[in-house]
Amino acid sequence: MQTLQSKHASEIWSYFADICAIPHPSKHDEKLRQWIINWAQEKNIECVKDEVGNLILKKPASAGFENKSAIILQAHLDMVPQKNSNTEHDFLVDPIQTHIDGEWLHANDTTLGADNGIGMASCLAVLADNTLQHGPLEVLLTTDEETGMVGAFGLKSGALQGSILINTDSEQEGELYVGCAGGINVNVNMHYEKMEVEPTDSAYEITLTGLKGGHSGCDINLGRANAVKVLVSVLNNLAAIPFHLSTLQGGSLRNAIPREASTIIVCDKQYQNSLETLIATLNQQLVSEFKNAEDTLSLQIKSTLLPTSILTNSSQKNLLDCLFSCPNGIVSMDDNFSNVVQSSSNLGVLEQNKTNLRFELQVLVRSQVEDEKQKIAEQISQHFQAHLGKVRKDGNYPGWKPNVESKIYKIMEAQYIKLFDNKPKTMVIHAGLECGLFSEKYPHLDMISFGPTIKFPHSPDEKVHIDSVDKYWKLLIATLKSID
């Protein structure tokens, strides 16, 4: 990173090197927080730690800018700790090691923490640089964003004075974010009755694999198959065969589109051939149905050990009917922004608990519009309740409704055109940003989110585009100067 520090004008790389040297995985960002507190003290920068561990640093306006709007610059302190299984790295102790590969800065087989370390470094660089021009400035560094936006949830209303907030946590240079979705979890428990298996029957395992999955918000409009929903429709297509369901499961994360699902069914051995033929045909149909979005989809069947129990006919019918007709995917599109999903739901996890005889489902509903989010969550709840499911909603967080009249957006867009001679893209992200929580606590805030280009965040392949950091910095300081 020393090469970067010497070649590029801003202090971002030097602060980013400091940040990489100090372990700061989510839930363990205290060392970095303390380093920043000490740093601020040395530089005579006012710095307050709040009850949850957020830092608020303050810098007075530069000369002549005392009457300009007060600005909040914001990043999160923590990073996602991910490494490859064969990599030796202790995120609590070891510094992040980096290397340059062409136009990109990578970490050595771990997450880099450019999400949101570059944003954080830019906040420190702005605080430290007395040649910059801007109105009264507050820097908000939130704790544990990556594990449920803990800092943003815990932030007190009244702690910040600024009227404009610039969030640095989005990941594509050339895009300006003006809104984000909120979310709510719908958790469902479906009890079932079981019965014994005919010992002369045979069992078959049907698996659906090779799907792309992806983020349940950002990727929900890509036409990808939801493994659970598709496998349930496969089972519906087997109606000609009198089969019994023993096992059904799929997905592993609420916020990811399920990539795999599997089921074990039981029937008389005489149906084996028809079953195999049917599954092969359905495989072909699915490959063709999803040909634009999935290229490695595979539906397979194989014989397996006879399980000890199966669902009763009525439990089986109830479960399959209810999963088949459960709404899933895009619910509505945003009227003001083309190709932006406004509301969606993702049936992310279906688990079977054989001890307690129940199926446990996790659904995540997202929307930029609070009322619509609540309405969809309630519709899904009622759907499962009508099928005797027990429903619990939790994890509610607000969205950030896009404001087409945003002043900071207009300023930043104008500065972008002036600097780079083309128009930035206006974006709304169908996923959660801390801005949703800020807008709930500070309804008057005019907000924007931007950042340098970061690919594959939250994975050991995370990398940041070096030149995009220069552009990010130029846009940031030009924007700060232009806010009136």
Interacting residue ranges for Zn ion, rule: CB under 5 A: 115-116, 169
Strand, coil or helix: 145: coil
Q: What are 156's strand-pairing partners?
A: none
> What's the CA gap between 185 and 176, in Å, rounded?
28
Choose between 115 and 144: whose C-beta lies nearer to Zn ion.
115
Choose between 135 and 460: whose C-beta lies nearer to Zn ion.
460
Answer yes or no: 78 catalytic. Answer: yes
Contact in structure between 474 and 60 (CB atoms under 8 Å): no
Choose between 76 and 244: whose C-beta lies nearer to Zn ion.
76
Choose between 149 and 282: whose C-beta lies nearer to Zn ion.
149
**Whose structure tokens read 């979705």?**
181
CB of 169 to Zn ion, least distance (A): 4
Q: Is the dihedral of CA 474, 477, 483, 484 positive or negative?
A: negative
Contact in structure between 321 and 218 (CB atoms under 8 Å): no
Choose between 113 and 398: whose C-beta lies nearer to Zn ion.
113
Radius of gyration for the alpha carbons in the chain, expressed in angstroms and rounded: 26
Run of H or E including 131: none
Choose between 135 and 399: whose C-beta lies nearer to Zn ion.
399
CA atoms within 13 A on the CB side of 484: 2
Given the residues 29, 138, 144, 145, select the one marked as catalytic: 145
Given the residues 78, 260, 294, 470, select the one marked as catalytic: 78
Residue 27: both structure tokens together:
């839930």
Answer yes or no: 46 catalytic. Answer: no
Choose between 248 and 433: whose C-beta lies nearer to Zn ion.
433
> What's the CA gap between 235 and 110, in Å, rounded?
41
Q: E-assigned strands of 375-469?
A: 390-397, 425-429, 446-449, 454-455, 463-465
DSSP structure string for 10-71: SSHHHHHHHHHHS--BTT--HHHHHHHHHHHHHTT-EEEE-TTS-EEEEEPPPTT-TTSPPE
Residue 246: both structure tokens together:
């023993």
Q: E-assigned strands of 77-181?
A: 98-101, 104-107, 137-142, 164-167, 175-180
Q: Please give the backbone phi and psi of residue 316, each rounded to the nearest 5 degrees, phi first.
A: -60, -45
Contact in structure between 446 and 401 (CB atoms under 8 Å): no
Residues that are catalytic: 78, 145
